[in-house]
Structure 1
Amino acid sequence: MTTHTPPTPVRAIIADDERLMREQLRSRLADVWPELDIVAEAKNGLEAVALVREHRPDLVFLDIRMPGLTGVDAARQIAQLPEDEDWLVPEIVFITAYDQYAVEAFEQGVADYVLKPAERERLTLTVDRIKKRLAAKQGNDADNLSASPPLQQLLHKLSAQLNPGGKPSYLQWIQATVGQAIQMIPVEEVLFFISDEKYTRVQTARVEALIRKPIKELVDELDPALFWQIHRSTLVNAHAIDGITRDFRGRQLVGVKGHAEKLEVSRSYTHLFKGM
């Protein structure tokens, strides 16, 4: 007699700073997807990223407006978590109070959204979409998955849609490796970033950490009023600049408050320090 191993239930995390909204979504999901295993709940974006790292779920429901990290910023951090043979970056469903015009990017299919309060019919549609994408992942259906734009591209577009005509949404936190641990570092604490061919060093007054994001990407994601590019491989926190000196070769060197290292300024960026 042949026995069949029951399928592993899909594991999910809910993140919303409003307890009643978390409870309502959990209740509605129990109706439309009773076999879904909700393994944890988060009250903010930082908790959401930490819980995803801990529980490695298949699916995350993220409120767009949360303290600490917005849902979009949390999704960016989650999308950068390392994958392996047993786990891929989870599917993302945003929970939002915004009208349809603000979430048109979701229709591209990389992620999905649920308008507050979560209505049964719309949630059922979301569940159907997510099940299909999870099945495509498990079946290695590359054609189906590659038809949609990358998640990071969608998040960039979504951020712009949620802030029409407003200030750009810059990174507020850096997820970096410190020794064997992963830490969330507030960007205002970073003194400077220095890249080599493989890693970017994140230096604060207290820790030295590593990320895989190159300088050319950080330039677009960090507030240019706060972080100045002084070399093709170096960004420095303008608030941390302690002074400018020259070495025996005539090169400009930036001194950094709270750190002994001197940062070289390439010729392309010497104009930043004229008159200093």
Structure 2
Amino acid sequence: MSKLSAVIADDERLMREQLRMALQRVWPELRIVAEAHDGAEAVELVREHSPDLAFLDITMPVQNGIAAAMEIDGLCPVVFVTAYDQYAIKAFEEGAVDYLLKPVEDERLLRTRQRWEQRQLTLPSHWQASLQQLSRQLARPDYLRWIKASVGNSLRMISTGEVLFFQSDEKYTRVQTAACEALIRMPIKELLQALDPDEFWQIHRSTLVRVDAIEQIKRDDGQRGLMLQLRGYPEPLEVSRSYAHLFQRM
């Protein structure tokens, strides 16, 4: 009986090695017949080797993993591999394809094997629309998603989804979450270029606020104009007159 075969595609060599070693531990019957470093090469290798399965990194040069999956559709089942949880949308959990978060864990990879053995990795036709939507999302700029910040004497990785606001002084930028306050050396000007403008708005020369953290907008009776109340933070934040127009149509 011949072994099962697979193609691995990831632009990072170390990530391909990590996945290959995990597959050897969890799925020794699965033989890696080829490895690709971009989506276009992955499509060529799938057509050449006709594997039983393809593991595709989502964010790759030349052609991303979503676009490659649309071309591979019908040739073999696809498992997406990604470092970004935002791509693991609910649709992935509804059965059509599978996804693995980097670094790939043996226990999670075992679930992928079990799904394949139960023939639950077939890509139905209605998934083309979902894949096209994901591919368009990948064409957007790769905005900052994690902040390496100092909390006391230690460093902490903070997701931008946790951040309520950034506020700068002359030397540091304060990173405020509902749970803690941290410090980074990146100035507001650089943060403004690195963050998604749909998620963070500048409300003051020294302050960026996460839009979906805004609970209430108040007009101050004094001279300060608009004040924002954020969920998870007791003190209001001032909106300078230069940025008050952001809230005029709210």
2:56, 2:65 within 8 Å by CA — same for their partners in 1?
Answer: yes
Match of 1:267 in 2: none
* Match of residue 21 from structure 2: 27
Aligned to 2:59: 65
Once the two structures are superposed, residues 194-233 of structure 1 have per-residue CA deviations (whole angstroms, 9 ceiling, x without a partner) of: xxxxxxxxxxxxxxxxxxxxxxxxxxxxxxxxxxxxxxxx
Unaligned runs of 5+ in 2: 142-250
1:78 is matched with 72
- What one-letter code is carried by the residue in structure 2 that aligns with 1:15? A
Matched, 1:43 2:37: yes
Which of the numbers 139, 153, 156 marks the counterpart of 2:132? 156
1:160 positional shift = 5.5
Is there any run of 5+ residues in structure 1 with no aligned partner, and where?
Answer: 1-5, 80-87, 137-144, 168-276
Structure 2 CA distance, aligned partners of 1:14 and 1:28?
Answer: 12
Distance in 2 of aligned mates of 1:63 and 1:120: 17
In 2, are the aligned partners of 1:105 and 1:157 still within 8 Å (CA)?
no
Residue 100 of structure 1: how far off its partner (Å): 5.6
After TM superposition, give the deviation of residue 101 of structure 1 in Å.
6.5
Q: What SS does the aligned partner of 2:89 have?
A: helix
The one-letter code matched in structure 2 to 1:106 is: F
Which one-letter code corresponds to 1:121 in the other structure? Answer: E
Partner of 2:113: 127
- RMSD over aligned CA atoms reads 2.4
User: C-alpha separation between the residues in 2 aligned to 1:69 and 1:160?
Assistant: 12
Partner of 2:100: 114
Distance 1:154 1:9 in 2: 32
Question: C-alpha distance in 2, partners of 1:125/1:119?
Answer: 10
Give the TM-score of the pair, scaled to structure 1: 0.47
Q: Which residue of 2 aligns with 1:171?
A: none
Contact 2:59 2:138 in 1 (8 A): no
CA separation in 2, counterparts of 1:69 and 1:100? 19
Partner of 1:103: 89
Percent identical across equivalent pairs? 55
- Structure 1 residue 54 corresponds to structure 2 residue 48: yes
1:30-80 Cα deviation digits (max 9, x unpaired):
11101101110001111101101110111000000101100001111112x
Q: 1:150: Cα distance to partner?
A: 3.4
Equivalent residues of 2:8, 2:36 under 8 A apart: yes
CA, structure 1 residues 10+153, in 2 after alignment: closer, same or farther (shift >3 Å)? farther
Q: Which amino acid aligns with 2:106?
A: R
The residue type paired with residue 31 of structure 1 is: R
Alignment map for 1:1-276 (pairs within 5 Å): 6=1, 8-79=2-73, 89-99=75-85, 102-133=88-119, 150-159=126-135
Provide closer, same or farther for how the CA distance between residues 129 and 111 of structure 1 changes in structure 2, counting only shifts above 3 A: same
Change (3 A) 1:49 1:149: closer
Residues 40, 51 of structure 1: 8 Å contact kept:
yes
8 Å CA contact 1:13–1:52 kept in 2: the answer is: yes
Q: Per the alignment, do residues 107 and 49 of structure 1 end up closer, same or farther by CA in structure 2, a change over 3 Å counting?
A: same
Distance change >3 Å, CA 49–CA 32, structure 1 → 2 = same
How far apart, in 1, do the equivalents of 2:14 and 2:75 lie? 27
